[in-house]
Chain A
Amino acid sequence: MGKRFLRFEFLLLLAVFTIATCGLVYELVAGTLASYLLGDSVKQFSFIIGVYLFSMGVGSYFSKFLQRNMLNTFVEIEILVGLVGGLSSVILFLLFESVHYFQFILYFLVFITGCLVGLEIPLLMNILKDRVKFRDLVSNVFTFDYIGALLASILFPLVLVPQLGVMRTSLFFGMINISIAIVLCFLLKSELKKGYLLKAKAIGSFVLLLTVFIFSDSILSFSEGKLYGENIVYTSSTPYQRIVLTHNKSDYRLYLNNNLQFSSADEYRYHEALVHPVMAMAPKIETVLVLGGGDGLAVREILKYKEVKTITLVDLDEGMTKLFKTNKILTDLNKQSLTNPKVKVLNQDAYIWAKSCKQKYDVVIVDFPDPSNYSLGKLYSLNFYKTLHQILSKDAVVVVQTTSPYFAPKSFWCINKTMMEVFPQVDAYHAYVPSFGEWGYTIAANSFVTNFNTVNRQVDGLRFYNYQFEKLNYFSKDMVSKDIEINRLDNQVLVRYFDEEWGKL
């Protein structure tokens, strides 16, 4: 008794305190991750708290069957809680995309953690029951338990998540958990049986968690790759966007800010449909302007026409055009179009550039990102098309990628109607691109005499477009929309339509 005993009791109570803190942190991590990944935070948190408390009850029930080597079991459980709880967020991150029964794994992990924590308290009370007065025991154990819980619930949102992030928080607490086990192993040597084995287990687990902690960043980017469902070949963050290139079998996919830009398997459909109708019907094609389209794939198609003298490509993002000039995979894809001597690449804001442009163009191909926010919406406004109109030659032809007429008919026809305000002749067409779905374009002529069905010239070797414009020009009933407003800078209705339509999906 005396001093030595006090230390014994103090250590075990410290362990309770840690378990309570860590246990609650694991619960909060699970709740946070579930709300991040699955949405509906009220539901997720409510379910997780319920399952966690219930499983603690299950753990408490089973504690009565553990009667031998109770101190050893206690330390072992401490290690196990650290391991399971600490790794839970990593496991959840990694499995999120690839597993259908993600929720099952989530609740299973919560259940296991809850059971283990539930075992601990009764176990500890059993260990201490002969050494401490029952009245003190109950009061001390629960005091430490609840203080730990309070500490965890305050630290978690204020300090841990902002400083460490969710994944590292759980790993960090796993390590704390295990380090308590290690301390117990060393200080209670005499009380433990086969102490060396326990020590080995504890230290091994600690090292494992530490390793994962150190590499948590690359795990995070790997799990991001999982989110794309493909292998990530290349990632880069430019000041404007996050570029991710993935590879799966023979298919390369490019994502800009998580939106699919193209799939190498079927981009030819998209780009042939974008480029060849205008190139075929334009009276003149000497000077071509491409706005957006920093991947050089539209330019690749344009270069097939020998009459073209110059191509000016205006793309905001230097990181993007540089990548498509230098990366081997990508230059194979765009046939080095961006380094062709006919091509001039300007990394400027297309709207600002067009406002000050003095030159006139025979063909303009507009390949901007979809109008998913108010900044991008400006590039589809009446004022933008008026600006564009100023830099067209007399018989110029313009084509604009105008999102999907099937998924977003209001958006599609809104752009069409807006262009009708500015250009003498406007028409629309669409093509099926498997990775996108049904995709649409609006075409406009600066002259009343240009006929959209005319084929002034054509090139061989196309895989999709056969120079029969009328075949792409028919819209079924489910791709038509009425009562659409014109998109102006001062109303930005397009962004509202777009959000409404794509938001539904």
Chain B
Amino acid sequence: MRNGENYNSRRTFLKGIAASLLLLPVLQSCKEKVIALLIRLSGTNHILGHRLWVKNFPKPTRQIQIPYLIIGGGISGLSAARQFTKKGISEFLVLELENYLGGNSSNGENQYSKFPLGAHYLPLPNFHDKTLLQFLEEEKIILGYDAKGFPEFDEAQLTFSPQERLFYKNDWQEGLVPKYGNSHADENAFQVFFSKMDYFRETKGADGKYLFDIPLGHSSNDEQTLKLDNITMKQWLDENKLTAKPLIAYIDYCCRDDFGLGIDFVSAWAGIHYFAGRKHNATSDGKENVLTWPEGNARLASHLKKYSEGKTLKNHLAYEVKIEGNKTVVHAFDDMKKESVEIIADKVILATPQFINQYLLENRKHIAREFHYAPWLLATLTVSDLTDNYSYPLCWDNVIHGSKGLGYIYDQHQSVQQVQSKKVITYYFSFSSPDIRKTRRALYKQKKEYWKQMVFDDLKTAHPDIEGKTEEISIRLLGHGMISPVPGFLFGAAKNQAGKSIGNKIFFAHSDLAGISIFEEAFHQGINVVNTILDGTTLDS
């Protein structure tokens, strides 16, 4: 789910043939069987997590000594484990609250397909992000480099064509940017907007750094540009007289997709970063594409996991971290054995989000207050058929223009199989509202039937009979789906303070410290924190 400005345009692909239409009445007379719909509801282990509020855990009865402890088995934690291993250090432990690793990059699976439970793609990295390119090469996602030095990505791990389609004015069209049925003025607004984004993408500041880069911390400190963080994306669009409705809807979609919040609530710097941070320069033809897998970024997590194999304690909730003498003492609750354990480490990495850290450390509440996390809902539907008006064939990413949802991913898109007996799709929804806490409470209050209906009602715009065709629906609620860069946050004091290590003993790594929730940030956070610990440098290895 991303912007696709560069895709070739083609409108109508499937043409009706008289013969197939002759059969239409016959086919329509076939009545569908009514099958009882199976609804499942899951989420992160928020019940256990919320025990941090009261901390009613038993006293530790065991003790573990380890030089390095990583708390949190998401991408930043796993990436730190990899970096330790690369640096020849094997004496570390990873503590994870859930019974699986990967955090937001984990997946589910049913009879027909794997499917993501969170993050589900990695855009082609920037050419200068050598650290990431190296990782992709190690994992055979990059198969080699061509004569000009451009990486050659594995065809089977790039999104297959056709990649994206948009339901706009009752027709599907290729790409996510509305192209057909726009007025001249709309057309013009898109052009102006994209040329501004081209400028932001290519321009460097006086310090020689890109105005917008990934990792975000590598961006220029150009003052004019940093000011963009003080206003909302909507304000910036208004200032630039970019008010065409289809454009606004498109940019709002992009912001909700990457930050969980729409243009009314995210900072303009972040909004522009979405379009300008990625340089599209990793391939010789400069084409945009993303790497994806049926299980989403759980694939990347599984590549990282091997570095902490045998060194992981799952179902372990750390609930207290403090420095005692020259050691760091961590108390954690083992949810399986229902007992607590004391871990004594030389150094601890908190690869956990700040809304957790405020309960592990003292005096962090005022910091955590500045971190906003949008709630998310994912719904994976198993459907017997996915009928629509066939104006453009089913793609990997399918978005309904003007919808409150973010569309859906066709989970079997990366399969080379000719026919799928059932189709599995994953629908995404982020709760974009000024009062995140209220929406989060509502998220857990409503019953699964309520969310099911919301998903159907949204999808019905493009697939009128989806409800009758759905056989199973797995809903996943993420109370703290991702960090949302509201104005003033990215370059504000709270974020800066949250990342500072304590007493050269407690260190921090998490994508919320970067300010945006993308794989690249978490990956670099993990590497940087280990480098800082080992040689006092933040440079990537």
Per the bound structure, the CA–CA distance linking A351 and B155 in Å amounts to 15
Q: How far is the CB of B1 from chain A (nearest CB, A)?
A: 17
Contact yes or no, B162 A492, CB < 8 A: yes
A416 contacts which chain B residues (CB < 8 A)? none
Contact yes or no, B393 A374, CB < 8 A: yes
Tell me which residues from 157 to 171 in chain A have a Cβ below 8 Å from any Cβ of chain B.
161-168
Per the bound structure, the CA–CA distance linking A227 and B156 in Å amounts to 41
Tell me which residues from 201 to 251 in chain A have a Cβ below 8 Å from any Cβ of chain B.
217, 220, 223-224, 227, 239-240
Contact yes or no, B22 A316, CB < 8 A: no
What sequence of 0s and 1s flags, for each residue 19-58 of chain B, a beta carbon within 8 Å of any chain A beta carbon?
Answer: 1111111101100000000000000000000000000000
Q: Does B200 contact A (CB under 8 A)?
A: no
B159 contacts which chain A residues (CB < 8 A)? 490
| Closest A residue, CB atoms, query B158 | A490
Binds B, one of A336-344, A376-384, A436-444, A468-476: A376-384
A11 contacts which chain B residues (CB < 8 A)? none
Per the bound structure, the CA–CA distance linking A224 and B18 in Å amounts to 10
A163 contacts which chain B residues (CB < 8 A)? 28-29
A164 contacts which chain B residues (CB < 8 A)? 25, 29
Contact yes or no, B22 A496, CB < 8 A: no
A381 contacts which chain B residues (CB < 8 A)? 155
Binds A, one of B9-17, B90-98, B105-113, B227-235: B9-17
Q: How far is the CB of B334 from chain A (nearest CB, A)?
A: 41
Contact yes or no, B418 A93, CB < 8 A: no
Q: How far is the CB of A172 from chain B (nearest CB, A)?
A: 12
Per the bound structure, the CA–CA distance linking A499 and B29 in Å amounts to 31
Q: Does B417 contact A (CB under 8 A)?
A: yes
Per the bound structure, the CA–CA distance linking A489 and B162 in Å amounts to 9
Contact yes or no, A227 B18, CB < 8 A: yes
Max chain B Cβ within 10 angstroms of own Cβ: one of A37, A224, A384, A489 = A489
Contact yes or no, B418 A374, CB < 8 A: no
Known contacts A375-B418, A489-B155; is A223 also within 8 Å of B22 by CB?
yes
What sequence of 0s and 1s flags, for each residue 476-505 of chain A, a beta carbon within 8 Å of any chain B beta carbon?
Answer: 000000000000111110011001000100
Give the interface size bracket for B toward A: 20 to 34
A503 contacts which chain B residues (CB < 8 A)? 15
Q: How far is the CB of B468 from chain A (nearest CB, A)?
A: 14
Contact yes or no, A165 B29, CB < 8 A: yes
Q: How far is the CB of B184 from chain A (nearest CB, A)?
A: 24
Q: Does B160 contact A (CB under 8 A)?
A: yes
Q: Does A153 contact B (CB under 8 A)?
A: no
Q: Does B416 contact A (CB under 8 A)?
A: yes
A496 contacts which chain B residues (CB < 8 A)? 8, 10
| Closest B residue, CB atoms, query A217 | B26
**Residue from A36, A217, A376, A489 in contact with B21 in the complex, judged by beta carbons closer than 8 Å:** A36
Q: Does A98 contact B (CB under 8 A)?
A: no
Q: Does A140 contact B (CB under 8 A)?
A: no
Per the bound structure, the CA–CA distance linking A282 and B512 in Å amounts to 61
Q: Does A6 contact B (CB under 8 A)?
A: no
Per the bound structure, the CA–CA distance linking A490 and B121 in Å amounts to 14
**Residue from A165, A168, A223, A489 in contact with B160 in the complex, judged by beta carbons closer than 8 Å:** A489
B17 contacts which chain A residues (CB < 8 A)? 258
Interface set of B (CB-CB < 8 Å, partner A): 8, 10, 13, 15, 17-26, 28-29, 155-156, 158-163, 289, 393, 416-419
- Between A and B, 30 residue pairs with Cβ closer than 8 Å are A36-B21, A165-B26, A167-B25, A168-B25, A217-B26, A220-B25, A220-B26, A223-B22, A224-B22, A258-B17, A258-B19, A349-B417, A349-B419, A351-B416, A355-B416, A374-B162, A375-B418, A383-B155, A383-B156, A488-B155, A489-B156, A489-B158, A489-B161, A489-B416, A490-B161, A490-B163, A491-B161, A492-B161, A499-B13, A503-B15
With A36-B22, A161-B25 already in contact, 17 other A-B pairs whose C-beta atoms are closer than 8 Å: A36-B21, A39-B18, A163-B29, A217-B26, A227-B19, A239-B419, A349-B417, A349-B419, A352-B416, A373-B393, A374-B160, A375-B418, A378-B160, A488-B155, A489-B161, A492-B162, A496-B8
